Structure 1
Amino acid sequence: MPQRSSNLPVCRDCDGFATVAITTGTRHRGGSRVTVPVACPACRGTGHLVPASALVRAGR
């Protein structure tokens, strides 16, 4: 069964992989690594960009 895709363009900075887990280099007592989740600053963790025409411009 085909998956539905969004009509929004994919973020060019993260290619749709908006959140990643980065290891800090240290380990927990059980041996697993400590990770920090980081969201893409361009799309704010959504994986998609809002078209420029949808943005509201205020001022002169």
Structure 2
Amino acid sequence: MAQHTPPAPRICPACDGFATVAVALDGRDARGHLRTITAHCPDCHGTGTVPARRVREGAGA
């Protein structure tokens, strides 16, 4: 009997699936560590996929 494969999640069109990035700030701290902040995609809130609600509305296709 054939296996059923779930459909692939819809990738967010705003970030193309790269929902979270680390942004380097200028310079390093006193211990020599590179200072970074984390930024999330405002559309998918860091998940990389379009919510099911937007897919049904046609906004995520």
Q: Normalising TM by the smaller chain, what interval?
A: 0.5 to 0.7
TM-score (normalised: structure 1): 0.67
The structure with the largest helix share of the pair is: 2
Q: Deviation at 1:50?
A: 1.8
Q: Deviations over 1:14-54 (max 9, x none)?
A: 11111100011031122221000011101000000024317
In the alignment of these two chains, the number of paired residues is: 50
Q: Which segments of 5 or more consecutive residues in structure 2 lack a partner in the other structure?
A: 1-5
User: Is the alpha carbon distance of 1:44 and 1:6 closer, same or farther for their aligned partners in structure 2, counting shifts above 3 Å?
Assistant: farther
Structure 1 15/36 Cα, relative in aligned 2: closer, same or farther at 3 Å? same
Structure 1 runs (4+) deviating above 3 angstroms are: none
One-letter identity of the residue aligned with 1:18: A
Structure 1: which 5+ runs fail to align? Answer: 55-60
RMSD of Structure 2 on Structure 1 (CA) = 2.1
Q: TM-score, length-normalised on structure 2? A: 0.66
